[in-house]
């Protein structure tokens, strides 16, 4: 099987994960920018698209990609939902975007063309990509490695109940109570809002989940449910307070648009056509 990577505005981290996975799966790499070979429009079995669209040139490349390759995979959260590359949209005006190197508002490729598979995370773990490559090499339809559950379902920390919380955005991992849920200790962990499947390495190490996997299946499926509202309801339920005070507490700590920064520039994450996103996530 021949694969290639089309890299848009990105950090290159997803390519590195894919490079490791491709070695394990024994697939041929026709083009990958970190190997010094750019994709120039040739047909391959699977084209991985990494990063956000931030220029007219990116738009043209993306148009070429659709229809020329056997399968099109959105590689990483930037390509699926905006990720870190999409954050420019939060602060920049259209005039500033026009003056800078970006000529169009950052958009995740998954908002613009149809993909066969979405692989969120920043970056996706090589083991997950290796499994995907092996499945595609055998000509099989990728099956789900994502539970519809959240990061909490794989987290080794036990919930203890919040008493009169004051939220902290982070805490020195050495000051975190061993084995206890971070939210229970008042540290803002996005595990309950975030798609599961990563194995929860961050909260396991005492670092709150920052939501790099994108929204949980429930958040995608329920139209109009904002991440910050879902978190306020959860905090109210576990803290024994009312939802409005929990929401005020949250809004004092985190602006509503930045609760889930990794999906902040995605129209599909905002408009949440669950019927479109969920099958793509499950097909891995
Ligand atoms: S998803 Fe993360 S690792 Fe991948 S290109 Fe974007 S910022 Fe880099
Ligand atoms: S630490 Fe975070 S991921 Fe773990 S159970 Fe608590 S909220 Fe969920
Ligand atoms: S725990 Fe959260 S931030 Fe860490 S890898 Fe998983 S989804 Fe990403």
> How is the chain split into domains, by residue range?
2-143, 151-260
Model-level pTM?
0.86
Whether 191 is in the pocket of ligand 2, judged by its Cβ within 6 Å, is yes
Which numbered atom of ligand 2 lies nearest the CA of 194?
3
Region of poorest pLDDT, from 84-93, 98-107, 166-175, 190-199: 98-107
Give the dihedral of Cα atoms 16, 53, 89, 100; nearest 10 deg: 100
Higher-scoring residue by pLDDT: 269, 188: 188
**Closest residue CA from atom 5 of ligand 2:** 152
Region of poorest pLDDT, from 16-20, 135-139, 144-148, 151-155: 144-148
Give pLDDT tens digits for 228-248: 888 888 888 877 778 898 888
CA distance 268 to 2: 30
CA distance 249 to 227: 14
Q: Is residue 222 within 8 Å of residue 272, measured between CB atoms?
A: yes
Q: Average of pLDDT values for 168-197?
A: 88
Give pLDDT tens digits for 22-59: 998 889 999 999 999 999 999 999 999 999 998 889 99
Whether 190 is in the pocket of ligand 2, judged by its Cβ within 6 Å, is no
**Rounded to the nearest 5 degrees, what angle is found at the Cα of 270, between the Cα atoms of 60 and 230?**
150
Which residues sit with their C-beta closer than 6 Å to ligand 1? 10-11, 13-14, 50-51, 76-78, 83-85, 122-123
**Closest residue CA from atom 4 of ligand 3:** 202
Region of poorest pLDDT, from 34-38, 84-88, 139-143, 256-260: 256-260
Whether 46 is in the pocket of ligand 3, judged by its Cβ within 6 Å, is no
In angstroms, what is the span from residue 33 Cα to ligand 3's centroid?
26
In angstroms, what is the span from residue 81 Cα to ligand 3's centroid?
15
**CATH architecture observed for domain 2-143:** 3-Layer(aba) Sandwich (3.40)
The helix/strand/coil state of 117 is strand
pLDDT of residue 227: 82
């Amino acid at each position: 099987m021949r694969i290639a990577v089309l890299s848009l505005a990105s950090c290159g981290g997803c390519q590195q994960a894919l490079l490791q996975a491709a070695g394990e799966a024994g697939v041929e790499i026709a083009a990958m920018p970190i190997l010094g070979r750019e994709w120039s429009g040739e047909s391959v079995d699977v084209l991985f698209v990494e990063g956000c669209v931030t220029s007219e040139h990116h738009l043209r490349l993306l148009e070429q990609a659709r229809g020329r390759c056997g399968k099109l995979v959105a590689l990483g959260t930037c390509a699926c939902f905006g990720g870190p590359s999409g954050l420019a949209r939060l602060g920049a005006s259209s005039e500033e975007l026009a003056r800078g190197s970006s000529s169009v508002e950052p958009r995740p490729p998954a908002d613009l063309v149809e993909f066969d598979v979405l692989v969120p995370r920043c970056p996706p773990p090589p083991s997950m990509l290796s499994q995907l490559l092996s499945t595609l090499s055998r000509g099989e339809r990728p099956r789900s490695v994502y539970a519809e559950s959240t990061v909490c379902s794989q987290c080794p920390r036990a919930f203890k109940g919040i008493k009169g919380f004051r939220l902290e955005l982070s805490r020195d991992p050495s000051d975190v109570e061993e084995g206890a849920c971070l939210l229970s200790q008042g540290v803002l962990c996005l595990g309950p809002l975030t798609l599961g499947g990563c194995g929860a390495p961050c909260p396991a190490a005492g670092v709150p989940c920052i939501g790099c996997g994108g929204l949980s299946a429930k958040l995608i499926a329920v139209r109009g449910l904002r991440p910050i509202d879902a978190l306020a309801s959860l905090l109210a339920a576990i803290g024994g307070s009312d939802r409005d005070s929990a929401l005020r507490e949250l809004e004092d700590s985190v602006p509503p648009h930045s609760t889930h920064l990794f999906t902040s520039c995605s129209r599909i994450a905002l408009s949440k056509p669950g019927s479109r996103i969920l099958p793509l996530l499950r097909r891995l």
